[in-house]
Amino acid sequence: MSHSKQQVKSGFFWSAIDNFGNQAIGVVISLTLANILGPTDYGLVAMLAIFIAVAGVFVNSGFNAALIRKVDRTEKDYSTTFYFSLVISFICYGLLFISAPLIANFYQQSGLVSLTRVIALTIIINTFAIIPRTKLTVALNFKSQAKANVTALICSGGVGLVMAFSGFGVWALVSQQIVSATISVFMLNLLSPWRPVEKACKESFIDLFGFGYKLLLSGLLDTIYNNIYGLIIGKLFSASQLGVFNQAKTLSLLPAGTITSVIQKVTFPMLSAMQGDSAKLDNAYLKSLQISCLIIFPIMFGLCISAEPLISLLLGEKWQETAPLISILTLGFVLYPIQVINLNMLQVKGRSDLFLKLEIIKKINVTMMLFITVPIGIKAICIGMVLTSYFALIINTYYTAKLSTITQFMQLSTLLPIVIITTISAVIGYQFGAGIMENWLSIITMLTAELLCYAILMVTFQKSLIIEVRTLLKGA
């Protein structure tokens, strides 16, 4: 199935509305909640993140990506995926329900028993959104997804805020997640009605699992290691310190993650439809990288230089420890779009074996870095995360280059001018605003100087790239 230019353009637009709309509303709600609650409340929820995330990987088992990639998908494929995911979700919930006292004992937090058993309900609830969301993604129908996500966010945010103001503490965050999952499922099934009309099919399972199990293993590795920091900090440090770290990580990843998600949602099904035309596929892949970095790099560097006054203004003194961590982490998360789009290509090419191999190599590196940095402290852990991001960039681009005409050198040399210009702009922006005492004025001065300098340098030295990207977006 190929997608028309109009579908792609509409997909980009509504995916952007979905992500930016969600994030804009989410940031307002999150900042308000963070001012009412404290780092300890966020730390308690973060302690459970690894268990919920791992369960989610097992429930999905790579079937979602397998369905999107498969050209001749049938109702048997959808039904098989649904029944399999539903069974696994109940198994995962049962295991977490039984294990709740062990989790609480591990962290030495008795309150985690009830928190685990309630928040784990999202595992079962989210299963009912898998097929409607997949069908909408295949059709590049991000308009309906945007409606569902924004509705869920507003409703759950409202519940969370009311409970936080009423003194429910950490339960405000738990209830927010439960309500969000429930409303999202309701809206997705309302906008994209689907019921299983076939029985689970052995042939469909073998076909989907044949591609998906490698993504399951790589996703499992990735999820464990993305959350291993929270597990270690929660165990060796305090709930409050984990809350600070988790908030810094969330805010640092927010810009890059949001923009990359817009591009990834649209480009994965779009690139999957180009599997038969290698030249067209490679060109679209390189352009995706350029567009992502052109937008994300100045935003991430801007967050890096303005973190201290930004946190002081928005979150206050009790969250001030997050500022230096944000400045460190943004230097690693700025590579996020390159990582994601490179890994996307491996899936499009059907090389989930390389995807898995890549994840194993990267996780060995993460493990080694953790052994070095954990005894030093949380700042050292953040620096280690940045270093592992750059190592991951090297091996990601290496393996992708083996499957396309876009070499590793071509990728990096194409992006190098953007990196240099962004760095110069950020240094100039910081120098302009660093000495200003008023937080809001310091932020405005830094970001205005940085973005103005970035625009001037890009137009002066990379005018052809700007014109090319503008033409590409107009023609999409």
Q: Which two tokens stand for residue 34?
A: 């963070």
Domain shared by 5 and 148, yes or no: yes
State the pLDDT at residue 386. 96
> Of 199, 221, 237, which residue is a domain's last?
237
State the pLDDT at residue 10. 59
Lowest mean pLDDT among 4-13, 195-204, 289-298, 451-460: 4-13
Asked whether the beta carbons of 379 and 324 are under 8 A apart, the reply is yes
Span 359-375, average pLDDT: 90
Q: Which residues contact 445 (CB under 8 A, 6 or more apart)?
A: 429, 432, 433, 436
Give residue 313's pLDDT band: very low, low, confident or very high (50, 70, 90). Answer: very high
Which residue did the predictor score with more confidence, 83 or 455?
455
Domain shared by 197 and 259, yes or no: no
State the pLDDT at residue 104. 96
Task: Give whole-number Cα distances, 405 to 9, 400, 412, 453, in Å.
Answer: 26, 9, 14, 34
Farthest CA pair distance, the chain: 67
State the pLDDT at residue 13. 63
Flag whether pLDDT at 283 surpasses 70.
yes
Percent of the chain with pLDDT over 70: 91
Domain shared by 280 and 136, yes or no: no
Question: Range of 154's domain?
Answer: 1-237
Q: Where are the alpha helices (DSSP H) in 273-335?
A: 278-314, 322-333
Domain shared by 375 and 442, yes or no: yes
State the pLDDT at residue 219. 79
Span 159-183, average pLDDT: 96
DSSP structure class, residue 139: T
pLDDT in tens, 156-167: 999 999 999 999
pLDDT in tens, 78-118: 888 888 889 999 999 999 999 999 999 999 999 999 999 99
Which residue did the predictor score with more confidence, 386 or 467?
386
Q: What is the value of pTM for the model shown?
A: 0.82
Asked whether the beta carbons of 239 and 109 are under 8 A apart, the reply is yes
Domain shared by 181 and 299, yes or no: no
Domain shared by 165 and 222, yes or no: yes
Domain shared by 205 and 272, yes or no: no
Domain shared by 179 and 283, yes or no: no
Q: What CA–CA distance (Å, rounded) separates 384 from 225?
A: 13
Flag whether pLDDT at 62 surpasses 80.
no
State the pLDDT at residue 347. 75
> Of 207, 237, 267, which residue is a domain's last?
237
Domain shared by 225 and 260, yes or no: no
pLDDT in tens, 181-199: 999 999 998 988 888 777 7
Domain shared by 121 and 208, yes or no: yes
Q: What CA–CA distance (Å, rounded) separates 309 from 441?
A: 9
Compute how many other C-beta atoms are within 10 angstroms of the C-beta atom of residue 314: 16
Mean pLDDT of the chain: 86
DSSP structure class, residue 198: S
Lowest mean pLDDT among 146-160, 172-186, 351-365: 351-365
Task: Give whole-number Cα distances, 238 to 36, 44, 142, 235, in Å.
Answer: 20, 10, 40, 7
Which residue did the predictor score with more confidence, 124 or 196?
124
Which residue did the predictor score with more confidence, 20 or 181?
181
Domain shared by 214 and 264, yes or no: no
Span 340-348, average pLDDT: 80
- Number of domain units in the chain: 2
Flag whether pLDDT at 290 surpasses 60.
yes
Percent of the chain with pLDDT over 90: 48
pLDDT in tens, 405-454: 888 888 888 889 999 999 999 999 999 999 898 999 999 999 999 999 99
Flag whether pLDDT at 278 surpasses 90.
no
Flag whether pLDDT at 204 surpasses 70.
yes
CA 247 from centre of chain = 14
Domain shared by 229 and 270, yes or no: no
> Of 178, 211, 237, which residue is a domain's last?
237
Flag whether pLDDT at 1 surpasses 60.
no
Select from 264, 248, 262 the least CA-distant residue to 303: 248
State the pLDDT at residue 19. 64
Flag whether pLDDT at 312 surpasses 80.
yes
